[in-house]
Amino acid sequence: MGSASTNSPTPCCYLIKCIRCGKLSWAGCGLHVGDLLDKIPWELKCHCCSASSRRRE
């Protein structure tokens, strides 16, 4: 029988901080981004157009 992994699962989508504007954005698979960003006020969300400006926080 196999043993269960003790590692915590990595979230598919997670919040990151934009290196251009410093506001919140996301990274990950994209399937859960709506659930993630729905909880963030519009004025705190990154509106930069480049994904290259995002970094993990």
Number of domains in the chain: 1
Q: What is the pLDDT of residue 25?
A: 93
Q: What pLDDT score does 32 carry?
A: 87
1 lies in a domain? no
Q: Which residues contact 47 (CB under 8 A, 6 or more apart)?
A: 21, 23
Q: Per the domain annotation, does 30 fall within a domain?
A: yes
Residue pair 46/27 in contact (Cβ under 8 Å)? The answer is no
pLDDT of residue 56 exceeding 80: no
Q: How far is CA 25 from its chain centroid?
A: 6
Q: Does residue 2 lie within any of the structural domains? A: no
- Report yes or no on 7 lying in a domain: no
Whether 4 maps to a domain, the answer reads no
Beta bridge partners of 13: 28
Q: Which residue range is the domain that position 42 belongs to? A: 13-56
The predicted model scores a pTM of: 0.62
Chain centroid offset of residue 47 CA: 14
Report if residue 6 sits inside a domain: no
- Asked if residue 44 lies in contact with residue 23, where contact means CB atoms within 8 angstroms, the answer is yes
